[in-house]
Amino acid sequence: MSLKDRITEDMKDALRARQSERLGTIRMLLAACKQKEVDERIVLDDAAVIGLVDKLIKQRKDSINAFAQAGRTDLVDKESAEVRVLEAYLPQRLSEAQIADEVARIVAQTGAAGPGDMGKVMAAAKAQLAGKAEMALVSAAVKRALAQ
Domains of the chain in start order, with CATH, are 3-87 (1.10.1510.10), 96-147 (1.10.10.410)
DSSP letter, residue 92: P
118 and 142 Cβ atoms separated by less than 8 Å? yes
Secondary-structure percent of the chain, ordered helix, strand, coil, rounded to 5:
80, 0, 20
What whole-number distance in Å separates Cα of residue 131 and Cα of residue 46? Answer: 10
DSSP per position, 20-85: HHHHHHHHHHHHHHHHHHHHHT----HHHHHHHHHHHHHHHHHHHHHHHHHT-HHHHHHHHHHHHH
pLDDT of residue 15: 96
Residues contacting 115, CB < 8 A, separation 6+: 143, 146, 147
Residues contacting 35, CB < 8 A, separation 6+: none
pLDDT tens sequence for the chain (148 residues): 889 999 999 999 999 999 999 999 999 999 999 999 999 999 988 888 988 998 999 999 999 999 999 999 999 999 999 999 999 998 888 888 888 898 889 888 888 777 777 888 888 888 888 778 888 888 888 888 888 7
